[in-house]
Structure 1
Amino acid sequence: MTEGQIHNWFDKQKENLSDELLTKLRKTDPYVFEHMMIELMTRMGYKGADGEAFVTQKSNDGGIDGILNQDALGLRKIYVQVKRYAEDNTVGRQTISQFHGDLDLQGAGSGVFITTSAFTRSAEEAGKKFNIRLIDGEALTKLMIEYKVGVQVQHTFELLEIDNDFFDKRDN
């Protein structure tokens, strides 16, 4: 098997894992899903060294599902909204506009919106205009795999090659 074939095999495994992960996320309890997304953001480093991260209450949360304080005093905050939607239930412009309004009420200039589905073109345009980072299902699973949230290492393989520098030093 060539190195290229090995890379292709690993890419296919990662793609299959991504699909399985997305299916599992769509079946997860919405409140548990919120906790998972705050865990992901924390592992990505958005909580900050001395900050805290938490999920807001289940109801009357003002459109904010999670908050990450990036510093001990909570002066720099990231507001997060998550939607655990089916594949065919895309997030539209109105939902992003509503989240922008919720952010405005918090005095926030930006936020993160995470979904297990996708965003419409108009939602993507609104996200850019309102400084809201949109993470769809495909990007979400890639991040979860990269930061090892909801997944674990099954095996580790090493691909070794000849160290020519080692031999060249000996030949001189």
Structure 2
Amino acid sequence: MQKTYYKSPIGILEIKGDENGIQSILFDDASTTLEVTNEVKIPDSLQNCVSQLDEYFSGERKEFEVKLNPQGTDFQQKVWQELLNIPFNKTRSYLEQTKAIGDIKAIRAVASANGKNPISIIIPCHRIIGSDGSLTGYAGGIWRKKWLLEHEGVLQKQQTLF
């Protein structure tokens, strides 16, 4: 397993993976005091992922083409796979997500699986919102979810006068 750190506009990301694919992209708030630059030597197996994250954050990429290898239960895998069907600039409610996997009674289990998504941003759990349009739950923090949805054009950026 190889690892690198990526400095994004919304914090440090820890990326883990190998030739079998990316296993995790998680926010690493503990590393905010470390000097992380995107000029460090990146393992070959993670280079494509880092390049595509650069393109995403610069507004050039809307779909990722990275080999993924998240570790989880069969149910979690099913939920995460369905998240990949939500296009850039679109959202889906937890209820819609539950219907999409074919088990309307599993809404709490779907929400739990979304919360355990090990591959932030690329598996877009940030695109799941409440039925009323509210920005509910995000393991990386609601402020990051809001930023990502604004970046993707789902939400309009809030302008402040002061």
Q: Same fold (TM over 0.5)?
A: no
Please give the range of the TM-score, normalised by the shorter of the 2 chains.
Answer: under 0.3
